[in-house]
Structures are given as structure tokens and as C-alpha cells.
């Protein structure tokens, strides 16, 4: 009877297509909106995306998210280095700087100052130039999408950064931050020159834990210092995302959009499937009259629901996946993150959707009186 159930489903092209596209639309809404939401959250983690070397990010304990920087004292770097279990610790300077463009406009740039000797915190991938050239005076490396933002500059060009001369020595590839500013790398010392600050200058201390030493133990030791807090990469990432979700309204607003997409998709799909079963009720009654048990009919309805559900899911996820490729282009403005968990979530949503439609339909099938065939 499985084959018959499938034929009944596929035989009515118009209904079948409307069902499949209803479900595909629902899955597309959920996955596409979900992937943009996740993409935005990922971007909110800013520089965390590009710096993978350290085990711990040490910041002011009152820092609520990665962009909430209260500078640390130079001495803090030595204190961290003296913590048992620390392999190395490097300063990181993160700030905003103004770039004056030749046409009179200006752009805000994210300026990252990394340790001159170790270059820890370096950009993930160099496209042009050499990373080592960053040690030259006034040298900066810019992220590839920043070239156009800064008026089509290239290696060798000179920028006016906070009214000071900066020479582009390389182009790199790095993930964009939440604000999509131009991103620049320089050495810690150069950064201090570009952006003169007071006694407390470091934004973060990036630290590596010695092999074999539990990260948690070192983290606890640093946290025991009353004026410092150590976070793992994931810990800082979660802290940032939680802040964005709770404090900025993005969570509730975007969450509502995703929820609305989910509900609309669910209602459309469940109602379409219910309607499909309803229109086939007479055929089910005939089958019941000629000997098909209720269990057989239930199996048929569930099979039909699963088939349209999985096909709709495949199409929806496929389109959303193709859409997400746009966001994977280097320097793409579109913030899209499409992890496997999102696909599993969409699958669960699809199962919920077709289950809802099936439950409604099955109630009619179970209570169906075969005597209706005579009406």
C-alpha cells in the first residue's frame, strides 16, 4: 500500500506541488532567517572570529562583551605571564581610528595592534605582501574588503590614519565585525602611535596555557586577581552573544521574525496537508470499505506526510544553503552562518509541521465512517 500512498500523493500534481512548496517555503523561512540571525551573532563576536591562537582572553572583569573595552595596565601583562601554567601572554590593542580619504570623506576603521615580536593575533590569511613587513614603521595591513571602503587603495599606498601617516604593506583576509568597518592590523607599538592613549593601553591580553595544564585551573587563578577576568574563546563569544541578545533588542526583534516565519510556514504547510487529506477522505473511505484497516490508512497518511516533508525540506534547505553561499564570499556584506545544527533544527521543525498536519488529518481518517461511500 506504500506504493499506492505515494501514487495518490504524486498523482495530483497541483496539490502535491503546493504541498511541497508550502513546506519548502516554511523550511526556507526558518533556515534563511535563522542563518542570517546566526551570521549576525557571529559577526557580533568581532575580532574573536579571527584570532584563534590563545586559550584565554583576559579583560577587565566588568567588560560585558568583546567590544566593551576597558583598557588594562601594562603591569597586568606581567602578572598574567607570572601565573603558573601560562605558556605565553601577548598584548592586543583594539580601537577605532579615523581614516581620511583623498576626496575629503573619512571612514572609521577597526585598528588592531598585535605583539610586534610574536605577531600573535595576526590576520588569518595574507593575500598580498608579507606579514613580517608589519614590523616596519607606520605599517598597516588592511582586510581585503576594506580596500574599496577606503577608496580602492592597495599595497604601497599611504593613508592618513588619525592624522598620521600609515603605509599599507599587505592585504589580508579576515572575517568582518558587526559594524562592517574597514579593518586594519598593525603592531602594538604602531597602534599606540596612531592612537595615543594614557597609562592603561591594552585592550586584551591573549594568553596560551602550557600543554598538559588544565585551562580551567589557569582561568580560575587569573579570575582570582580581583581586577582581571579570563575567558576562553567560547566563553567570550557566549558572553558577547548573550549581551547582544539581551541588551540590544536584536534578539527579541529577530527572534520574533524567525518565530513568525516558523509559525506562518507551519500553519501553511499543516493546513495544506490537512486539506490534501480532506480532499482524499472519500478515497480513504472507499479503501476502508473494501478492507483497508485504520492502521493501514494511518501508515499511508504518515508516509505521504514524510515524503512531502522530506522533499520540501530538501528544497527549502537547498535554497537557503545556496543563499548562504552569497554570505561566504570574502568581504560579503551579507551576514550568514549556516551550521549543521540549523539544518537539524529545520528538520525538527519540518517534522513538527508535517506531524501537526498529519495529526489533524489522521483524526479525520481514524473517525472516518466507511458508510460515506454511499453518499
Residue ranges binding other proteins (CB under 8 A):
1, 3-4, 7-12, 282-283, 286-296, 369-371, 373-375
Nearer to other proteins, 184 or 307 (CB): 307
Q: How far is the CB of 247 from other proteins (least distance, A)?
A: 55
**One-letter-per-residue 3-state SS of 72-89:** EEHHHHHHHHCCCCEEEE
Alpha-carbon torsion (329, 332, 334, 335), positive or negative: positive
How many CB atoms lie under 10 A from the CB of residue 250? 17
Q: How far is the CB of 37 from other proteins (least distance, A)?
A: 40
Q: How far is the CB of 249 from other proteins (least distance, A)?
A: 50
Nearer to other proteins, 3 or 105 (CB): 3
Q: How far is the CB of 364 from other proteins (least distance, A)?
A: 17
Q: How far is the CB of 368 from other proteins (least distance, A)?
A: 11
Nearer to other proteins, 12 or 73 (CB): 12
Nearer to other proteins, 340 or 374 (CB): 374
Radius of gyration in angstroms for the set of CA atoms belonging to the chain, rounded to a whole number? 29
Spatial separation of the C-alpha atoms in residues 121 and 362, rounded to whole Å: 59
The SS3 assignment for 56 reads strand
Q: How far is the CB of 5 from other proteins (least distance, A)?
A: 10
Nearer to other proteins, 1 or 344 (CB): 1
The SS3 assignment for 356 reads helix
Query: Which residues have CB under 8 Å from 40's CB, separation 6+?
Result: 178, 250, 254, 335
Nearer to other proteins, 23 or 287 (CB): 287
Give the side-chain half-sphere CA count within 13 A for 161.
32
The SS3 assignment for 229 reads strand
Asked whether 49 and 41 are in contact (CB, 8 A), the reply is no
Q: How far is the CB of 304 from other proteins (least distance, A)?
A: 11
Q: How far is the CB of 178 from other proteins (least distance, A)?
A: 52
Nearer to other proteins, 9 or 111 (CB): 9
Cβ neighbourhood burial of 196 (10 Å; 0-12, 13-18, 19+):
exposed
> Distances from the Cα of 164 to the Cαs of 99, 161, 196, 238, in angstroms?
9, 5, 11, 36
- State residue 251 phi and psi, 5-degree precision: -60, -50
Query: Which residues have CB under 8 Å from 345's CB, separation 6+?
Result: 30, 34
Nearer to other proteins, 250 or 289 (CB): 289
Find the largest Cα–Cα distance for the chain.
93
Spatial separation of the C-alpha atoms in residues 135 and 18, rounded to whole Å: 62
Q: How far is the CB of 172 from other proteins (least distance, A)?
A: 59
Nearer to other proteins, 16 or 21 (CB): 16
Q: How far is the CB of 361 from other proteins (least distance, A)?
A: 17
Spatial separation of the C-alpha atoms in residues 343 and 324, rounded to whole Å: 12
Cβ neighbourhood burial of 144 (10 Å; 0-12, 13-18, 19+):
middle
Nearer to other proteins, 282 or 363 (CB): 282
Amino acid at each position: 500500500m506504500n506504493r499506492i500512498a505515494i501514487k495518490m500523493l504524486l498523482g495530483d500534481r497541483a496539490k502535491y506541488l503546493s504541498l511541497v512548496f508550502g513546506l519548502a517555503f516554511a523550511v526556507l523561512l526558518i533556515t534563511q532567517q535563522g542563518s542570517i540571525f546566526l551570521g549576525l551573532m557571529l559577526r557580533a563576536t568581532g575580532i574573536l572570529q579571527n584570532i584563534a591562537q590563545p586559550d584565554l582572553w583576559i579583560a577587565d572583569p566588568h567588560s560585558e562583551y568583546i567590544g566593551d573595552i576597558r583598557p588594562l595596565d601594562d603591569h597586568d601583562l606581567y602578572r598574567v605571564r607570572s601565573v603558573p601554567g601560562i605558556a605565553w601572554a601577548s598584548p592586543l590593542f583594539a580601537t577605532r581610528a579615523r581614516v581620511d580619504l583623498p576626496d575629503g570623506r573619512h571612514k572609521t576603521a577597526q585598528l588592531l595592534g598585535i605583539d610586534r615580536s610574536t605577531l600573535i593575533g595576526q590576520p588569518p590569511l595574507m593575500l598580498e605582501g608579507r606579514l613580517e613587513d608589519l614590523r616596519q614603521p607606520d605599517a598597516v595591513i588592511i582586510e581585503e574588503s576594506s580596500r574599496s571602503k577606503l577608496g580602492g587603495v592597495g599595497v604601497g599606498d599611504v593613508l592618513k590614519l588619525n592624522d598620521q601617516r600609515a603605509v599599507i604593506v599587505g592585504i589580508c583576509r579576515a572575517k568582518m565585525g558587526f559594524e562592517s568597518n574597514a579593518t586594519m592590523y598593525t603592531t602594538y607599538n604602531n597602534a599606540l602611535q596612531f592612537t595615543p592613549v594614557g597609562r592603561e593601553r591594552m585592550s586584551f591580553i591573549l594568553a596560551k596555557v602550557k600543554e598538559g595544564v588544565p585551562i580551567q585551573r589557569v582561568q580560575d587563578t587569573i579570575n582570582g586577581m580581583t581586577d582581571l577576568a579570563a575567558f576562553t574563546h567560547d566563553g567570550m563569544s557566549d558572553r558577547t552573544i548573550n549581551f547582544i541578545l539581551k541588551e540590544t533588542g536584536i534578539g527579541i526583534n529577530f527572534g520574533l521574525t524567525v518565530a513568525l516565519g516558523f509559525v506562518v510556514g507551519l500553519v501553511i504547510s499543516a493546513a495544506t496537508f490537512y486539506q490534501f487529506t480532506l480532499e482524499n477522505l472519500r478515497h480513504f473511505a472507499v479503501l476502508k470499505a473494501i478492507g483497508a484497516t485504520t492502521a493501514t490508512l494511518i501508515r499511508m497518511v504518515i508516509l505521504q506526510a514524510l515524503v512531502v516533508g522530506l522533499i520540501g525540506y530538501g528544497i527549502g534547505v537547498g535554497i537557503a544553503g545556496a543563499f548562504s553561499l552569497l554570505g561566504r564570499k570574502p568581504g560579503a556584506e551579507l551576514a550568514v552562518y549556516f551550521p549543521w545544527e540549523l539544518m537539524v533544527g529545520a528538520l525538527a521543525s519540518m517534522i513538527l509541521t508535517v506531524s501537526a498536519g498529519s495529526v489533524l488529518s489522521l483524526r479525520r481518517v481514524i473517525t472516518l465512517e466507511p458508510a460515506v461511500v454511499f453518499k
